[in-house]
Amino acid sequence: MDSLFVRKLELVRRGQFSTKFNTFILRVLVMGERKNFAKRLRLNETLIGTLVSLPAPDICELLGSIGYDWLFIDTEHGAFNPQQAQSMLQAAYPTPCLIRVPSGEEIWLKKALDIGAAGVIVPQVHNATQAKKIIANCKYSPAGKRGIGIGRAHKYGIDFERYLKNANDETAIVLQAESSEAVENIDKIVTVKGVDAILVGPYDLSASLGKAGEIDHPIVQSAINRIIDSCQSANISMGIFGVDSAAVLPYKERGFNLLTVGTDTLFLINSAKETFLKMKTEK
């Protein structure tokens, strides 16, 4: 271990700095260590994150500093290119980030993992055949057929051997169930080896079931209950998105542990709107 690192750590332990500064120093000292998010997911730990849709690294840095367990980088709906997504991961570090790819095609999975995402969220997975193909494209041989290249994930070759050895275990693979077809096939999807979690897409699911936007409709809730039963039988994590804590907490009580609460844009809009209206109405 670096001697300067040890000396600084000892100063922190002795309380030589303010509590606030100690916290900052400790965070800086451990910047090289990112928690194994995939392991925590497989242990069904409760993991609280939020969705980032604006390609602004400062947002990830701020949210990561708050203490979120993970960040959901949305390149499916957000206006991201790979370089912007990589900058977001760098700014958030060491907070684990999962990238929701635009689709389950190999090229998107490869790019997300090569730039250093802790895992991927794959939208519109309808059946076990799709699931198996996604897993294969995310895992190195012999578990899969992920291509090998030079990238940020292994510090551009510096950490190549260690990364190649551990990547399969340290990469989280989350599949989205957000269609009536996925619900029909959920029992088979959850048994595909390598699937770490199922993330319910409540809005797309409601649309697929003919109840667009009505996520509390009995038909939609019945479908979600079916997903819950399958995930619990397979003992894999369950994820959900909600616009705020009030929307997510009921799902937490039902056993969901991969929680996405709010979005960067909603936080900005709601706070700005509240402040503006308060100033507008104050005499």
Looking at CATH, the fold of the domain delimited by 35-281 is given as TIM Barrel (3.20.20)
pTM of the model: 0.88
> CA-to-CA distance for 61 and 92, rounded, in angstroms?
5
Long-range contacts of range 5-11, CB-CB < 8 Å, 24 or more positions apart? 5/29
Q: Backbone dihedral region of 63: left (phi > 0), alpha (psi from -120 to 50 degrees) or beta?
A: alpha
- Residue 266 in contact with residue 54, Cβ under 8 Å? no
Task: Give residue limits of the domains in the chain.
Answer: 1-30, 35-281
What CA–CA distance (Å, rounded) separates 228 from 200?
A: 9
Query: Of 72, 36, 69, 5, which Cα lies nearest the Cα of 163?
Result: 36
Task: Answer yes or no: 217 catalytic.
Answer: no
Contact between 190 and 236 under an 8 Å Cβ cutoff? The reply is: yes
CB 245 within 8 Å of CB 48: no
Spatial distance between the Cα atoms of 149 and 136, rounded to a whole number of angstroms: 16
Per-residue pLDDT of the chain (283 residues; tens, 9 = 90+): 445 445 555 555 565 544 544 444 454 445 556 789 999 999 999 999 999 999 999 999 999 999 999 999 999 999 999 999 999 999 999 999 999 999 999 999 999 999 999 999 999 999 999 999 999 999 999 999 999 999 999 999 999 999 999 999 999 999 999 999 999 999 999 999 999 999 999 999 999 999 999 999 999 999 999 999 999 999 999 999 999 999 999 999 999 999 999 999 999 999 999 999 999 988 7
Tokens of 158: 């510096």
Question: Which residues does 261 contact at the CB level (< 8 Å), separation at least 6?
Answer: 48, 49, 50, 242, 244, 245, 247, 248
Which one of the listed residues 77, 126, 154, 217 is annotated catalytic? 77
